[in-house]
Amino acid sequence: MTRVRVALMLLVVAVAAQHDGRAQRVDAARIAPLPLAEWTDADREILGAMARNDQTIDVFKTCLRNTELCRNWMPFTRYILSSESGLSPRERELLILRTSWLCNADYDWAHHVPAATRAGLSDDEILRITKGPDAPGWNAFDAALLRAADELYGDQHIADSTWTALKLRYSDSQMMDVVFTVGQYTMVSMFLNSAGVQLENGLTGLPR
């Protein structure tokens, strides 16, 4: 078999792996989602509005494999995604999608692209998130948000210049929301990638 044929075969396998509904890192879940038939009333209470019977997404069904962890994690998750956070939905989704991209988290990317669209981000902007804060087209504040995500991911620290740019609009409370939103989705990406939570049918992961 020639080198060209081998390269072509590897390319086909790589492309197929991106579109067959699997999480990127592993071929099958390492921790299986808890089947609906095994849920207790306590499980439903823990998930709250995230419990949607057969429509419950697998990240939450997998979380139920550790009841106490899930019980304590869910309120934080709800806060980050709610109007109680000081971030607008658009700004929150910029941070989430950039963090998901940096963490190579197909699952979060797939679930938050629709949320980003609902929040007002265009298809071009969503794709531009993968190019980072220096990509042409961002306004100064959007670029600062994306840069904050990059800096938190790479150095666990927002640089002075980025902090100053965000503080032109944000309060101290909102700055904390920025840090904790990136932290939440970095942590969740670790869980998704390591547990092998698989993309549900019909979802597409990171653009590559």
d(CA 83, CA 16): 38
Dihedrals φ, ψ of 175, to 5°? -65, -40
Percent of the residues in the chain that have a pLDDT greater than 90, as a whole number: 84
CB-based contact 61:34 (threshold 8 Å): yes
d(CA 92, CA 198): 24
| Global pTM value | 0.87
Domain boundaries, the chain: 89-195
d(CA 79, CA 181): 10
Which structure tokens are listed for 101?
Answer: 């991209």
The pLDDT confidence band at residue 131, using thresholds 50, 70 and 90, is very high
The pLDDT confidence band at residue 204, using thresholds 50, 70 and 90, is confident
Q: What digits encode the pLDDT tens for the residues 52-100?
A: 998 999 999 999 999 999 999 999 999 999 999 999 999 999 999 999 9
The pLDDT confidence band at residue 13, using thresholds 50, 70 and 90, is very low
Fold classification of 89-195 is AhpD-like (1.20.1290)
Predicted confidence at residue 24, as pLDDT, reads 60
The pLDDT confidence band at residue 41, using thresholds 50, 70 and 90, is very high
